[in-house]
Chain A
Amino acid sequence: MLYSAIFAVSSVAGLAVAYFIISSYMMRDVEADITLEFEELAAVMRQGDPLAVAKLLDHEVAEEGPDVLIYRCYAEDRSLKWESDASAWPDLAFTGRSFAEAAAGRRAFETQRLGRDAGRARVLVGEVGPGEVLLVAWALREYDRVLAKIRDACIVATVCMMVVGTLAGWLLGKRAMTGVEEVTVTVAGIAAGDFSRRVAAKPRGEEIDRLAATFNAMAEKIQSLMREMREINDNIAHDLRSPIARMRGMAEMALAAESSLEECHAMAGNVVEECDTLLGMINTMLDISEVEAGVGSMRIVDVDLAEVVRNGLDLFLPVADEKGVSLSTGALPESLRVHGDARRLQRIMANLLDNALKYTPAGGKVVVSASSDDGLARLMVKDTGAGIGQDHLVHIFGRFYRGDSSRSQPGSGLGLSLARAIARAHGGDITVESELGKGSTFIVTISLDASRPAASSGAQATGS
């Protein structure tokens, strides 16, 4: 509505200005004509030949018409000395202003109404000689007629513009408002707890469409986060409560009167173990949250990824030997420099090796390789272990996910989740290819410079 008003006001102003400019130009033309006539007659009058004056009067009046042009000559006392054909001008009379100006030697223009039906005239009064004041009057009938036409045209144009402007403004406003209003209503629905609400995708105009699309993306993200949170809460509830329940049970048994000192000792030992397990889970969960909080929580330094791989192998080689699993490197460059959080990259390596060794039986192989290209570094851990079923693959990086076969193994199920969070915080991601009974290959990609993740990585997933 505001825009319509502004548009209307400015169009009216514009037309008014045009109208006044036109009318003033036209009036100047009229005044120029009048001045010309005045000068002509004044010159003849000064010659002092009344016959010549009369001849000129008749000529001019005949040319323009007695209803257009009239001349009058007044004496100092304002009495009329002579005039041209005044039949069309019954009420012509003068105010003191023109005479006073004339007496002072100046010429003055004024506009007079000439009788009830005769219209207006522009009048010039001036002193021609001592005791002779000349008055020339030019009818503005033509002038007024043209101006009236112009004024009417302007008014019609103004009205049209205002109508169209108001209508268009109202319509556009209505469309825009509807878009914004829809978004507002949808937001209210989400705020009330219904996270499935979305803004309907109708084309409404570029800006509103962008708003709707962005808003829908945000709503989608909120919904998936809520889903994840609920899932995590359910899992946490179970996985954190179980050790606590066990501890409580054992402590209660130790409190029982019949327990011997050895039994109490054993219980206490088990309680300590469960505490450590629980603490490990909590710490890892905190690690995941911290990593997911983003780049701000990381200490970015120069890291040689090839060195991280070699150190990791160094750490796990004894374990692999004990298990009878071969642990070796595949394609590994002398050095692979990246910019990232050294401790966290160390953690990914350890988690993946831990995982691979856990699920690869004796006689199997684990091969680690690394490479880089296109702004990304790639780390691969390939094992010949139990493999992961297709339906589990999508879940293994979720928090607390333990496949049924692994429920009996120690570990919290958070290792892969943390590894993924770290990879993502480094501008990359983790993927896995696996075949049941054959083995799995875990592929970690990270940006070569974690403080400025590669735009081409395309690995910033929006969902889980």
Chain B
Amino acid sequence: MRCIVVDDDPKIASFIKKGLEQSGFAVDVAEDGKEGFLLLSAEPYDVAIVDIMMPRLDGLAMVKDLRSQGLRTPVMFLSAKRAVDDRVRGLDAGGDDYLVKPFAFSELLARIRALIRRSTGAKEPTRLVAADLEMNLLKRTVKRGGSSIDLQPREFSLLEYLMRNTGDVVSKTMIMEHVWDYNFDPQTNVVEASVCRLRAKLTAGGGGNPIRTMRGVGYVLEGGE
């Protein structure tokens, strides 16, 4: 997987680059919007990580220009601004996701993996399969090893999200955003409790625990057996 990091802060760029390289990415770094624009126009990348506040050409303008040129590469914006308006502006400019600094590296990794997966995905599936779990999105039913499992609507949405990202770690924040549409982190561990409940239901009829906890990072639904 090829990734480009466009950020004028060398410390942040280097720590992202190191982290991504350790996770198997090939990483290029651009120091400002102009350089980023040139590189993204010339080379194919699987994902771009773009800082918004940069000299010469800021991230929003750079992505706007690239999009108008027809660039389809998924873009993750990084910014110190948290306000909803800033997020919206980022998404309007052509970004696919928006992460606020400071962020957990694992969060960044999980999100860009989700972005890549989304961009390579074909049309909307009607069924999701992971190991012995089978989910019918039209009928809203779940089966494990052939036998039906009864899930509450929210539990279904949580399992759906995990299954759509099979094999990739999803962070608690990502789960809060996608499953509950909350963009803050409550003090009590509501995500952990919900995942526990889901696990209990999934393992009630036998079988191992399909949802693995990655401490400090998030959760992952195992794909293969």
Contacts A269-B216, A299-B84, A415-B187 given: A350-B193 contact, CB under 8 Å? no
Contacts A343-B84, A354-B188 given: A315-B182 contact, CB under 8 Å? yes
Q: Measured between C-beta atoms, what is the minimum distance from B178 to chain A in Å?
A: 13
Are A279 and B154 touching (Cβ within 8 A)?
no
Are A316 and B190 touching (Cβ within 8 A)?
yes
Are B216 and A318 touching (Cβ within 8 A)?
no
Are B154 and A314 touching (Cβ within 8 A)?
yes
Q: B209: CB under 8 A from chain A?
A: no
What residues of chain B lie closer than 8 Å to A316, measured between beta carbons?
A: 188, 190
Cross-interface CB contact of B187 among A290, A346, A354, cutoff 8 Å? A354
Are A410 and B84 touching (Cβ within 8 A)?
no
What residues of chain A lie closer than 8 Å to B154, measured between beta carbons?
A: 314
Closest to B105 in A: A272
Closest to A357 in B: B188
Contacts A269-B216, A279-B102 given: A318-B197 contact, CB under 8 Å? yes
Are B193 and A321 touching (Cβ within 8 A)?
yes
Are B183 and A319 touching (Cβ within 8 A)?
no
Total interface residues in chain B, CB < 8 Å: 21
What residues of chain A lie closer than 8 Å to B189, measured between beta carbons?
A: 319
- Bound complex: CA of A290 vs CA of B184, how far in Å? 15
What residues of chain A lie closer than 8 Å to B136, measured between beta carbons?
A: none
- Over the window 192-205 of chain B, the binary record of Cβ atoms lying under 8 Å from chain A Cβ atoms (1 yes, 0 no) is 01101100000000
Looking at chain A, what size class is its interface with the partner chain?
20 to 34
Closest to A316 in B: B190
Contacts A286-B82, A315-B190, A321-B193 given: A280-B185 contact, CB under 8 Å? yes
Q: Measured between C-beta atoms, what is the minimum distance from A353 to chain B in Å?
A: 8
- Bound complex: CA of A97 vs CA of B189, how far in Å? 117
- Over the window 99-134 of chain B, the binary record of Cβ atoms lying under 8 Å from chain A Cβ atoms (1 yes, 0 no) is 000101000000000000000000000000000000
For chain B, residues 139 to 168, give those with C-beta under 8 angstroms from any C-beta of chain A: 154
What residues of chain B lie closer than 8 Å to A343, measured between beta carbons?
A: 84, 183
What residues of chain A lie closer than 8 Å to B182, measured between beta carbons?
A: 315, 346, 350
Give 16 A-B pairs besides A276-B104, A315-B182 with Cβ atoms closer than 8 angstroms: A269-B216, A283-B82, A311-B180, A314-B154, A315-B194, A316-B188, A318-B197, A321-B197, A322-B193, A343-B183, A347-B184, A350-B186, A354-B186, A354-B188, A411-B187, A415-B187
16 contacts between A and B (CB under 8 A): A280-B185, A286-B82, A299-B84, A314-B154, A315-B180, A315-B190, A318-B190, A318-B196, A319-B193, A322-B193, A343-B183, A346-B182, A350-B182, A357-B188, A358-B188, A410-B187
The 7 A-B residue pairs with the shortest CB-CB distance in the complex, in nearest-first order? A318-B193, A319-B193, A318-B194, A318-B197, A411-B187, A350-B186, A322-B193
